[in-house]
Amino acid sequence: MTSQTAVWHPFTPMQSFLEDDVPVICAGEGFELIDTEGKRYVDGISSLWCNVFGHRVPAIDQAIKAQIDRISHTTLLGLQSHISRELAERLVEVTPQGLNHVFYSDAGATAVEAALKIAVQYHAQKTSPAQSRHLFVRLGDSYHGDTLGAVSLGRIEAFHHVYAPLLFQTLTIPSPGASRLPPGMTQAEYARYCLDQLTNTLAEHADQIAAVIIEPLVQGAAGILVHPPGYLRAVRELTARHGILMIADEVAVGFGKTGTLFACEQEHVCPDLLCLAKGITGGYLPLAATLATSEIYDAFLGPPAEMKTFFHGHTYTGNPLACAAALATLDLFAQAGTLENVHANATMLAEGLQQLHDHPHVRQVRQKGIMTGIELVRDRAQDLPFAAQLRIGHRVIRVAREKGLIIRPLGDTIVLMPAIAMDQKTLERVLSITLESIDEALAEC
C-alpha cells in the first residue's frame, strides 16, 4: 500500500485533491490514458500540452529502446555525443533560418532561464561596443515557467505575488491578446495602443533593454489569448531597429499546435533566441532547447582566460534517451499529414464550438490551431465572472473526467489541447464531452 500524501502535486491544492477521487493513471494507448481500474480517458490536454502523436507510439518507443541498448545518459559537460549533435543539426534545419546553435536543458522554464542569461551576457561581451543591459520587456499576463528568472518574466499575479521580493525588474507592456479591452476602445484602437506602448517603451529604454520575450501568436497559460496578425512581425522589426534581442518562447506553441511547426513561421520571423520544450520529444521525456543565432554564439568565443564561457548547465543536459525520442518525433513530423491534420482538427473544433457562441455563460471561445480556450462567466450580458470559490472550471473538468475525458482549466477558462495527430473520431468525443460537461456543471450551480 502506498501513501497518497507522499507525492506533493504541482499547481494542486493538496487538501481538496486528496478528498477528491482522482484517477491513478498506469498506462496509455494512442490518445487515451488508462487508470488502475481499467477506465479509459481521452487525453484532451495532451498530458500538459506536450504529447504529439499519442502514447506508446511504436517509432518513438523503438528509438528510446534502441538508445537504451547503447547508453542512457552521458554528460555534455566536457564530452560530446553523436545523438545530441544529430538532434541539434535537425533542430537547426527545421527552425527559422538563422538559428544555428542549440543549448540543451530539460524544461520550458530552464530553456527560458538559459535564454535570459545568454541575452545579458551577450550584450556584456559583444565586441563593439560592449554594453550592460539588464532590463527585459514582457507582455502582460505572459507565462514562461516557474523558476525565478522565468517568473520575473512571466508572472501571473495570483500565483506569484508572494515571490515578488525575489524577482528582478521588468518592463511590462499590454498584451495585444487581452480579452478585456480598456473601456471605450475598439479592437483596432487597442491593437494600435499596444503597438504604441511597445514602440515607446523600446525607444525610451533602448540602451538598457537586453531582450523582449514573447509567446508567439498565443499566450497559452493566460487562457489562450490570441495576438492580432502582424504583432509578432512588429516586435521583430522594432527590436532589430534598437539592437534589442527577441526571445521567442515556443514552449507551448511549438511543434505544430498553431498550424505550422513553429508559430514564428506564420509571420516570417526569426528570433535571436528560441525556447523549445514540451512537444520536442513527442511528449515522452524531459528535454528543452534554447536556439541562438551565430552572432550570439560568437560573442561567447575566445580564450578561456577571457571568461566569455556561458557558465550554465544542468546535469541531464542533452540526455541521449530524450534526444532519441526527439529525433523520432522529428521523423514523424517529416512524414506527410501531421500539420494537415492540425488544420482539419482546428476546423472541426471551431465548427463544433460554434454552438457555444450564444451560450449565456460562455464569454469567449478563443482558438488558434488546436489551442482552444472556452471562458465561462456567470452573466455574459453584463460580463460578470463566477465567484472564485465556486471553482467552475474545476467542476467542469470533474464532470468531464466522469465521462472519460481529461482536461484542465485555467481559472474559469476550459482549455482543450488535443494532441495534434489526434484522429477526428476521438476529437469528436473531446468536443461532445466538453459541451455536455459545461452544461451539466453549470446546471449544478
- CA dihedral sign, ordered 164, 169, 174, 175: negative
As measured in angstroms, the least distance from the Cβ of 354 to ligand PLP is 27
Between CA 100 and CA 96 the distance in angstroms is 9
Q: How many residues bind ligand PLP (CB under 6 A)?
A: 14
Return the C-alpha cell found at 403.
465521462
Quick note: the x/- pattern for ligand PLP over 224-253, rule CB under 6 A, is -------------------------x-xx-
Residues 251-310 that bind ligand PLP (CB under 6 A): 251-252, 277
- Amino acid (1-letter code) at residue 338: T
As measured in angstroms, the least distance from the Cβ of 40 to ligand PLP is 26
Contact between 247 and 209 (Cβ < 8 Å)? no
Under the criterion CB under 6 A, does residue 212 sit at the interface with ligand PLP? no
- Which residue, 115 or 374, is less far from ligand PLP as judged by CB? 115
Between CA 287 and CA 280 the distance in angstroms is 7
As measured in angstroms, the least distance from the Cβ of 319 to ligand PLP is 15
- Which residue, 101 or 144, is less far from ligand PLP as judged by CB? 144
Contact between 215 and 252 (Cβ < 8 Å)? yes
- Which residue, 289 or 362, is less far from ligand PLP as judged by CB? 289
Under the criterion CB under 6 A, does residue 220 sit at the interface with ligand PLP? yes
Separation in Å, CA 194 to CA 140, 185, 199, 288, 339: 11, 12, 9, 31, 31
Our CA angle for 276, 279, 285, nearest 5°, is 100
As measured in angstroms, the least distance from the Cβ of 287 to ligand PLP is 10
Residues 100-129 that bind ligand PLP (CB under 6 A): 107-109, 112
- Which residue, 146 or 436, is less far from ligand PLP as judged by CB? 146
As measured in angstroms, the least distance from the Cβ of 275 to ligand PLP is 7
Quick note: the x/- pattern for ligand PLP over 131-160, rule CB under 6 A, is ------------xxx---------------
Instruction: Tell me the angle at which helices 338-353 and 320-334 cross, rounded to the nearest 10 degrees.
Output: 80
Return the C-alpha cell found at 146.
516557474
- CA nearest 139: which of 208, 255, 207, 218? 218
Between CA 283 and CA 280 the distance in angstroms is 7
| In the complex, residue closest to ligand PLP by CB | 108
Enumerate helices (H) and strands (E) in the chain, giving the number of each: 14, 17
Residues of this chain that interact with ligand PLP (CB under 6 A) are: 107-109, 112, 143-145, 215, 220-221, 249, 251-252, 277
